[in-house]
């Protein structure tokens, strides 16, 4: 017995010592970790690797670089663009990986199990409470195991599916960020290109002027030393030359870096020479054209700005996050099955398959469910509010960009005119200088002034192009189409040129913000039709002026007695018109349809000594005027302007009707004539009526509006028209 105990101790020590040594070695190695800076060789290898990417050869520059080619090279070779492309690639790979999370787990395992003694045990007789006294075992000392297990959690599948959808939106967000970088690069390239053009044009003219100034300064010092002139006059002359030379050097410093900045944006190695394609003189004198209304740019920006689209994708992600939070509150269901193997010789079946299902639920989730849902919904609202605030900021950016472009366009016109004047003045100075009527200082100063004016004009032109690019960026304009057949440099250059020339047409094709809102309002009205109540007759309090009917022949009418509704047009056409009326209201549209049910005759204003409140002028013999009633619903009209005579108002309506053609949507002209309180002269207000609803009136105004013509929608109630019909004195006959 003693021998066996000693052997057991030796075996235990022999098995424990190696494990203890291995554990001690691992702990010692972990404690020995310390900071290790890069060595010189590693740092040099890093620099070589980075330069190999940065200085990678590009397509050779075989000709002068145009602005379109500069933009194409920036898109293809700019490192910031490459970074964003890699971010898109990483997001795409992350999406591919997240798709595998939806699959069930299939785990294959194999192992070896051993021990230094037998796994024996005794049994206990539960009836007698005595041990059996026999030691038995059912496990070998050394076993080999293996299994292939399939596990699938239904709840994890739903969560993984939502996570994959979020990653898909992250890919789109990365692409929108790439678009934003490309748009910024295009703006920087445009500005740098035009500044480089200004430098190319003016640096060649700087050198001869600098030489002349330097020569004149040497001559001035010689004259000062010889005392040919008075000392103060000589010093003043020299100081003027030095100031002129300083201006020229400052000018050179401002222009010399423009070309290098353009090369850096194109991804060229620093210092690599290249030529710039100079635009024709006509292009240098003509500013870029912006033929897009600010309203169209607003809608285009709301539809295409990368920041807004990014926030829309963030809202999708927030919505999916809400669903993920709610799914985690549900119970989890595990479905599992496995194929197993065990080499234990005591087993009856060493190979078998097992399967099962299990449901688990954290009951605390029931308590936290309301708070979780509230938090997720708050996150969604936050994203929505952030997008709405960003939309307002985008609209402001569009308006500011358009205003800055217009202001710079005016400044460029004045600067160009000043440069032209300075050039002509320089020519005069050169002529009188050659004739000996003025000194060399005056000629030099005129040349420097003309040079500075040309530079100022070119720099303002560069700023104007920068403002033009800022308008494009504020509207979210992409220089490239969504899909391209190839990504080589010539194809990119052609695509950039086509995109820059067609973006205004695309922007003009979108609906205006007001039209979008009008369509939404019309859809809401169709979805919820208003209930029409039957018209109830009311006692007549006062005559209400209504529009008469249309077109050419003149047959003025005035109401004098109550007339039934069916006979009102005839009676109105038969009665005479008073000599003077407070206002004239007539229409060139078709008469409004009569009400289907009229329980009582519509009363007309009785004759009175005062001027009659209703007059229908120029009544068409073929179209009857509608009856003026004492009650009606509010009238929607469009105000088009005020004119000094009825003839001018008619001419204006004729031009509007001719331009709109069939787009008037049944609108007709209304002429409201009053007199001015100051001088008693008449004034005719031109309005349009006959609209089905306010949305139709707004659409009409949108078609009518232009740079010289305004249009405002008004809703007139019976009280408003009664106020318009109050006597205001005698009106001059039209």
Query: What's the pLDDT band for 17 if we cut at 50, 70, 90?
Result: low
Q: Which helix (H) or strand (E) holds 101?
A: none
From the list 148, 190, 76, the residue with the least C-alpha distance to 473 is 190
What are the b/e assignments for 261-289, b being 16+ CB within 10 Å?
bbbbbbbbeeeeebebeebeeeebeebbe
More confident residue, 579 or 16: 16
Cα 208 to the center of its chain, rounded Å: 48
- Spatial distance between the Cα atoms of 717 and 631, rounded to a whole number of angstroms: 10
pLDDT digits (tens, 9 = 90+) for 95-111: 888 888 888 888 899 99
| CA pair distance 734, 724, nearest whole angstrom | 19
How confident is the model at residue 111, as a pLDDT? 92
> Using the 8-state DSSP alphabet, how is residue 610 labeled?
S
The per-residue pLDDT for 636 is 84
Answer whether residue 515 shows pLDDT above 90.
Answer: no
- Give the integer Cα–Cα distance in Å for 429 and 313: 65
Answer for the pair 453, 419: CB distance below 8 angstroms, yes or no: yes
Tens digit of each residue's pLDDT (9 = 90 or more) over 616-659 = 333 333 333 333 333 334 578 888 888 878 888 888 888 888 77
pLDDT at position 227, please? 72
Q: What is the pLDDT of residue 285?
A: 82
Of the candidate ranges 212-216, 257-261, 535-539, the one whose mean pLDDT is the lowest:
535-539
CA quadruple 676, 682, 683, 687: dihedral positive or negative? positive
For residue 589, pLDDT beyond 70: no
Mean per-residue pLDDT over the chain, rounded: 75
Average pLDDT over residues 440-465: 83
pLDDT of residue 342: 93
The reported pLDDT for the residue numbered 638 is 84
Encode pLDDT of 124-157 as tens digits: 888 888 888 788 888 888 999 999 999 988 888 8
Q: What confidence category does residue 557 fall into, taking pLDDT thresholds of 50, 70 and 90? A: very low
Instruction: Give the Cα separation of 463 and 479 in Å (integer).
Output: 20
Q: pLDDT digit string (tens) for 40-78? A: 888 888 888 888 777 777 788 888 889 988 998 888 888
632 exposed, middle or buried (CB, 10 Å; 0-12, 13-18, 19+)? middle
Please give the Cα distance from 614 to 544 (Å, whole number): 8
Distance CA 77, CA 160 (A): 37
**Per-residue pLDDT, 471:** 92
Number of residues that this document lists for the chain: 734
Percent of the chain with pLDDT over 70: 73
pTM over 0.85: no
| Residue 115 phi, psi dihedral angles, 5° rounding | -150, 165
Of residues 281, 274, 284, the one with CA closest to residue 64: 274
pLDDT at site 232: 79
Model pLDDT, residue 574: 38
pLDDT over 70 (residue 665): no
Neighbours of 545 (CB within 10 A): 23
d(C-alpha 167, C-alpha 293), whole Å? 38
Q: In this predicted structure, what is the pLDDT of residue 149?
A: 92
- More confident site: 245 or 136: 136
Chain centroid to CA 220: 61
User: Among the listed ranges 5-9, 116-120, 219-223, 563-567, which one has the minimum average pLDDT value?
Assistant: 563-567
Q: Is the pLDDT of residue 243 over 90?
A: no
Position 579 pLDDT exceeds 50? no
Q: Which residue has the tokens 């030796």?
A: 10
In this prediction, residues 306-323 reach a mean pLDDT of: 90
Q: What is the pLDDT of residue 108?
A: 92
Number of neighbouring beta carbons within 10 Å of residue 668: 23
H or E segment and range at residue 42: helix 40-54
Picking from 131, 534, 430, 170, the residue whose alpha carbon sits closest to that of residue 318 is: 170
Confirm if 75 and 492 have CB atoms less than 8 A apart. yes
Q: Which residue has the higher pLDDT, 310 or 582?
A: 310
| Model pLDDT, residue 519 | 65
| pLDDT at residue 524, rounded to an integer | 62
Mean pLDDT of 367-391: 87
Q: What is the pLDDT of residue 506?
A: 83
568 has pLDDT over 80:
no
pLDDT at 550 over 60: no
Give 170-217 pLDDT, tens digit per residue.
999 998 988 888 888 888 999 999 988 888 888 777 778 777 777 777
Q: Are 573 and 557 in contact (CB under 8 A)?
A: yes
Q: What does the alpha-carbon distance between residue 436 and residue 220 come to, in Å, rounded to a whole number?
A: 18
- Give the span between the Cα atoms of 609 and 604, in whole angstroms: 16
The least confident of 183-197, 275-289, 360-374, 511-525 is: 511-525
Q: Say if residue 688's pLDDT is above 90.
A: no
In the block, residue with structure tokens 């990653």:
167
Strand order in the sheet with 635-643: 668-675, 682-689, 635-643, 712-716
Q: What is the pLDDT of residues 189-201, one digit of tens each?
A: 999 999 888 888 8
Question: Residue 119: what pLDDT?
Answer: 85
Q: Does domain 568-592+603-724 have CATH number 3.30.70.1070?
A: yes
Whole-number pLDDT of residue 537: 44
């Amino acid at each position: 017995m003693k021998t066996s105990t000693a052997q057991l101790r030796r075996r235990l020590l022999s098995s424990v010592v190696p494990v203890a040594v291995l554990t001690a070695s691992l702990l010692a190695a972990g404690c020995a970790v310390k900071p290790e800076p890069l060595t010189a060789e590693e740092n040099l290898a890093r620099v070589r690797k980075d330069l190999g990417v940065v200085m990678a050869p590009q397509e050779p520059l075989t000709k002068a670089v145009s602005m379109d080619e500069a933009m194409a090279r920036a898109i293809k070779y700019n490192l910031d663009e490459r970074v964003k492309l890699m971010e898109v690639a990483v997001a795409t790979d992350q999406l591919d990986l997240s798709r595998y999370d939806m699959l069930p787990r299939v785990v294959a395992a194999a192992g070896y199990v051993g021990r230094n003694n037998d796994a024996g045990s005794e049994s206990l007789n539960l009836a007698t409470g005595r041990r059996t006294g026999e030691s038995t075992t059912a496990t070998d000392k050394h076993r080999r195991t293996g299994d292939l297990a399939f596990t699938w959690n239904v709840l994890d599948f739903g969560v993984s599916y939502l996570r994959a959808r979020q990653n898909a939106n992250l890919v789109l967000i990365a692409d929108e960020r790439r678009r934003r970088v490309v748009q910024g690069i295009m703006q920087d390239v445009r500005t740098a290109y035009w500044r480089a053009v200004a430098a190319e044009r003016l640096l060649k003219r700087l050198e001869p002027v600098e030489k002349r100034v330097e020569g004149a300064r040497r001559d001035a010092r010689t004259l000062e030393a010889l005392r040919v002139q008075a000392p103060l006059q000589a010093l003043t002359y020299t100081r003027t030359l030095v100031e002129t030379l300083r201006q020229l050097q400052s000018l050179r410093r401002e222009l010399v870096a423009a070309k290098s900045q353009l090369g850096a944006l194109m991804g060229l190695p620093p210092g690599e020479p290249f030529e710039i394609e100079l635009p024709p003189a006509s292009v240098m004198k003509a500013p870029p054209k912006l033929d897009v209304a600010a309203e169209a740019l607003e809608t285009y920006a709301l539809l295409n700005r990368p920041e807004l689209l990014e926030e829309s994708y963030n809202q999708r992600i927030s919505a999916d996050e809400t669903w993920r939070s709610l799914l985690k509150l549900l119970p989890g269901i595990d479905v599992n099955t496995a194929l197993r193997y065990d080499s234990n010789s005591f087993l009856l079946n060493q190979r078998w398959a097992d399967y099962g299902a299990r449901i688990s639920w954290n009951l605390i989730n029931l308590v936290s469910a309301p708070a979780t849902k509230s938090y997720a919904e708050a996150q969604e609202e936050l994203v929505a509010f952030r997008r709405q605030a960003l939309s307002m900021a985008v609209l402001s950016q569009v308006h500011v960009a358009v205003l800055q472009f217009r202001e710079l366009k005016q400044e460029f016109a004045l600067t160009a005119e000043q440069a032209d004047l300075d050039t002509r003045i320089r020519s005069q100075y050169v002529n009188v200088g050659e004739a000996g009527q003025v000194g060399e200082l005056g000629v030099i100063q005129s040349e420097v002034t003309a040079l500075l004016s040309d530079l100022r004009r070119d720099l303002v032109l560069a700023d104007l192009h920068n403002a033009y690019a800022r308008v494009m960026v504020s509207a979210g304009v992409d220089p490239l189409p969504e899909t391209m057949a190839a990504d080589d440099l010539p194809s990119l250059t052609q695509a950039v040129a086509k995109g820059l020339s067609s973006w205004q047409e695309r922007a003009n094709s979108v609906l205006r913000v007001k039209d979008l809102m009008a369509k939404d309002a019309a859809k809401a009205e169709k979805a919820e039709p208003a209930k029409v109540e039957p018209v109830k007759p009311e006692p007549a309090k006062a005559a209400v002026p209504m529009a008469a009917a249309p077109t050419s022949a003149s047959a003025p009418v005035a109401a004098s007695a109550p007339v039934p509704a069916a006979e009102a047009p005839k009676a109105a056409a038969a009665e005479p018109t008073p000599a003077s009326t407070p206002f004239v209201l007539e229409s060139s549209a078709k008469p409004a349809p009569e009400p289907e049910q009229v329980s009582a005759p519509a009363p007309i204003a009785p004759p009175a000594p005062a001027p009659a409140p209703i007059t229908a002028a120029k009544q068409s013999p073929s179209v009857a005027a509608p009856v003026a009633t004492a009650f009606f619903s509010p009238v929607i009209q469009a105000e088009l302007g005020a004119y000094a005579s009825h003839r001018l108002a008619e001419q204006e309506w004729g031009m509007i009707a001719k331009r709109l053609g069939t787009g008037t949507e049944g609108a007709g002209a209304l002429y409201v004539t009053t007199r001015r309180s100051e001088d008693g002269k008449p004034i005719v207000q031109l309005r349009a009526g006959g609209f089905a609803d306010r949305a139709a009136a707004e659409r009409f105004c949108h078609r009518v509006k232009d740079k010289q013509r305004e249009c405002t929608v008004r809703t007139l109630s019976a009280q408003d028209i009664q106020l318009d019909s109050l006597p205001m004195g005698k009106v001059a006959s039209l």
